[in-house]
Structure 1
């Protein structure tokens, strides 16, 4: 990773726009916990539907139960993070938004890949993932750096856009 990639002048800088990064890590943790509960509820709903389907098909449909939780996670992130709001429900509650940094649009597929990479890096080594966020100037985690995304506070970002526009 070269220096130009890390220090791009058009990305918000915590030194000049600290309001965009104020309390970002604690907000990300809160959003994660809220999303975890919502994914659990969604998995439970999918699981009950899969169980009913399994009973109606005399057990054949129970084979699909292996895909219930992954499907719930993919649907949740694809629909929420891939929406124009660019935030899951937990992120909306915690007033944060995911922003692409490489000029590409944030669509449903990128949201799913971002979430998959988050879960993969978090599963492999959560302490390193969190340490990355503590020591990068924009509080980016490993998956943010790889995917080219940045998490910022939504309301200060909107106010900043309104001042410029």
Structure 2
């Protein structure tokens, strides 16, 4: 699959493909909660390793403990959202996937920047971030629009792209 803009079908429209966006915000919230638990587990493991290393280094490694949570977030999003699945574990469970809208591939760095921007906008004002998604037609949040990404339901998306390719093939 190429990511060139001319080869890529047009972005799905909620008016013509509503199944891609049905219950999307609820799914995103549930995926976020699942991801929080997993990030917490990663942070716990890194924290325990830091505490043990602190004893071995006479307390020197304890200074690095302030980086445990940010490191857990970067590791988690880089390895899951930056993978070919383009979804965190929570997103996979909730059948949603992150799709780039500007023709660029979704790699590990873009996934990390997407997550960092999400955490920044969510930390500054989570109600505005969620309200913003309620009023955009594709249910995009602020960080999605800035990064040029779109969150859609995965199983209906696969059917949507197949229909779009068939329509392009047969000139419909």
Scaled by the length of structure 1, what TM-score is found? 0.92
In 2: Cα distance, 1:48 partner to 1:107 partner? 30
Gaps of 5+ in 1: 1-8
In 2: Cα distance, 1:61 partner to 1:131 partner? 41
| Aligned residues of 2:17 and 2:160 also touching (Cα < 8 A) | no
Specify the alignment match of 1:144 in structure 2. 144
- Say whether residues 1:14 and 2:37 are aligned partners: no
Superposed CA deviations along residues 22-77 of structure 1, whole A, max 9, x for unmatched, are 10000000000000000001100000011111111111111111111100000000
In 1: Cα distance, 2:117 partner to 2:157 partner? 25
Superposed CA deviations along residues 89-132 of structure 1, whole A, max 9, x for unmatched, are 00000000000000011000000000000000000011110011
Partner secondary structure for residue 150 of structure 1: strand
Specify the alignment match of 1:119 in structure 2. 119
Paired residue total = 157
In 1: Cα distance, 2:134 partner to 2:77 partner? 24
In 1: Cα distance, 2:81 partner to 2:72 partner? 14
In 1: Cα distance, 2:156 partner to 2:106 partner? 20
Structure 2 counterparts to residues 20-35 of structure 1, below 5 A: 20-35=20-35
- Say whether residues 1:48 and 2:23 are aligned partners: no
Scaled by the length of structure 2, what TM-score is found? 0.89
In 1: Cα distance, 2:161 partner to 2:146 partner? 26
User: How big is the shift at 1:159?
Assistant: 2.0
Partner secondary structure for residue 85 of structure 2: coil
Aligned-residue RMSD, C-alpha? 1.1
Gaps of 5+ in 2: 1-8, 167-172
Specify the alignment match of 2:38 in structure 1. 38
